Amino acid sequence: MPKVVDPANQRDEIRDAARRVFAERGVRGTGLAHVAKAAGMGRSSLYHYYPDKDSLLADMVSEMLEQEEQVFRACLSEAGTPIARIEQLARACAALFPEWASFGRVFMDLRLQDAREMGGFFQAIRSGLASVIAEGQRDGSIAGEPAAEVQASILMAAIDGLLLQYFIDEEALPDPESLAHDLVVVTKRMLAP
């Protein structure tokens, strides 16, 4: 009897294997043969799911950006004051640093490869964050200057900068729980009226 394979699960397994191999070898140093081997399958089987490295990378980037966008959306749409929702976002991002950092090399390679693809993603999450900041500016709980879009960009830059440092030298930063606390403290100071 032939083996029944769930295509969605198989794609997940391939992406997991690809993350490990890309993290080790980088995007340029990895071919589909490396990914197939890490996934425990033949190249022809892998080609059934991903005909080339670009299609695999595109799927991985979409998955990663979707996950990050979901974190932003979930935190910013929770009940509570604007500052409480932003604090929750800071905590959630810091908690994910170990997972995101494990994909750091690939993410850095991909960002450099086609930064324009990231534009829509950053615009979407910046817009959601700026909307919450603007809400806080209207009720007086968040500083009225700089503009909400600028404050959102600065906060996103802080999160991305910390993630980059965590990826490069995680020993330079405290454990994720302490980092989350510190990021919340800095965020509160930055946004304070």
Q: Are residues 16 and 111 in the same domain?
A: no
Q: Are residues 175 and 110 in the same domain?
A: yes
Domain boundaries, position 32? 1-51
The C-alpha atoms of residue 94 and residue 107 are separated, in whole angstroms, by 17
Picking from 51, 73, 93, the residue at the C-terminal end of a domain is: 51
pLDDT at 85: 95
* Tens digits of residue pLDDT in 103-159: 666 666 665 555 666 778 888 899 999 999 999 999 999 999 999 999 999 999 998
* Tens digits of residue pLDDT in 34-65: 999 999 999 999 999 999 988 898 888 778 77
Q: Nearest-CA neighbor of 106 among 166, 71, 57?
A: 57
**What are 187's two structure tokens?**
């965020």
Residue 91, C-beta contacts closer than 8 angstroms, at least 6 positions apart: 180, 183, 184
- Report the percent of the chain where pLDDT is more than 90: 42
pLDDT at 102: 65
SS3 content of the chain, % helix, strand, coil (to 5): 80, 0, 20
CATH of residue 24? 1.10.10.60
What are the b/e assignments for 138-167, b being 16+ CB within 10 Å? Answer: eeebbeeeeebeebbbebbebbeebbeebb
